[in-house]
């Protein structure tokens, strides 16, 4: 089978999205990988962006059937943010025949369309294709109603630390890691938010992400 590739920033993201695809059986044929696993140099957002030309050439040659990326918006103060991230992506893919303005799906998620018939190229900028942040911010916004009190307690605990060692930009990572550490199976990764059924699968961000994946990787391509 020709690969249908979802490229993510690192191993924690890979485990999360593999679990997400597994829980939505229509997406079972999607390969999730960080850059290093498919020939990249670094498992980072920049590592993904540096691979776009190679991967789109693979689409053109038929070695890939469908392609999407998930990257964090990060913070504007650090040179990130949604607009800066999309600008970087657009500059790379426009020179390869994709539109300079991506299509915005009604439920969220972006699709770049090609001017010569290549498959749409999917992009999701965490958390919501608009705000600053990362995958952990998406998780915080999709936590189930029954889990919200524990998440609030975890956030309050992190906020009460007198001398935290992490940088402010990683606050959401600390909050989500603390919340997960208090679950039935402490020590699990981000994927446990799905495996442990801790998220609201009807939340707009949750359904938006799943529907975007289905748009990029339609069932008939399995």
CA-CA distance, 21 to 31, in Å (whole number)? 9
Over the stretch 61-99, which tens digit does the pLDDT of each residue have? 888 999 999 999 999 888 889 999 999 999 999 999 999
Q: How many Å from the N-terminal Cα to the C-terminal Cα in the chain?
A: 8
Closest by CA position to 90, among listed 112, 114, 109: 112
Is 1 a residue whose pLDDT tops 80? no
pLDDT digits (tens, 9 = 90+) for 114-148: 988 888 999 999 999 999 999 999 999 999 999 99
Examine the pLDDT at 221 and tell me if it is beyond 60: no
Tell me the C-alpha distance between 146 and 208, whole Å.
21
Residues 6 and 71 sit within 8 Å (Cβ to Cβ): no
d(CA 36, CA 41): 6
| CATH code for the structural domain at 3-134+201-221 | 3.40.50
Global pTM value: 0.94
Question: For the chain, which residues make up each domain, given as ranges?
Answer: 3-134+201-221, 144-187
pLDDT tens-place string over residues 159-175: 999 999 988 889 999 99
Cα torsion through 69, 123, 4, 120, rounded to 10 = -150
CA distance 105 to 111: 8
How far is Cα 46 from Cα 86, in angstroms, rounded to an integer? 12
The answer to whether the CB of 108 falls within 8 A of the CB of 100 is: no
């Amino acid at each position: 089978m020709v690969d249908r590739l979802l490229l993510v920033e690192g191993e924690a993201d890979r485990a999360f999205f593999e679990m997400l695809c597994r829980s939505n059986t229509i997406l079972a044929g999607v390969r999730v990988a960080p850059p290093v696993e498919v020939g990249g140099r670094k498992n980072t957002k920049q590592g993904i962006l540096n691979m776009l030309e190679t991967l789109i050439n693979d689409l053109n040659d038929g070695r890939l059937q469908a392609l999407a990326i998930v990257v964090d918006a990060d913070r504007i103060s650090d040179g990130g943010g949604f607009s800066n991230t999309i600008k970087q992506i657009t500059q790379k893919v426009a020179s390869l025949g994709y539109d300079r303005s991506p299509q915005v799906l009604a439920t969220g998620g972006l699709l770049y369309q090609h001017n010569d018939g290549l498959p749409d190229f999917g992009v999701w900028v965490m958390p919501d294709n608009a705000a600053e942040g990362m995958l952990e911010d998406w998780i915080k916004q999709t936590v189930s109603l029954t889990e919200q009190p524990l998440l609030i307690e975890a956030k309050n605990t992190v906020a009460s630390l007198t001398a935290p060692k992490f940088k402010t930009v990683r606050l959401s990572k600390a909050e989500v890691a603390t919340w997960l550490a208090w679950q039935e199976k402490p020590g699990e990764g981000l994927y446990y938010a799905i495996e442990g059924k801790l998220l609201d699968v009807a939340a707009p961000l949750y359904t938006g992400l799943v529907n975007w994946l289905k748009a990029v990787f339609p069932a008939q391509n399995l």
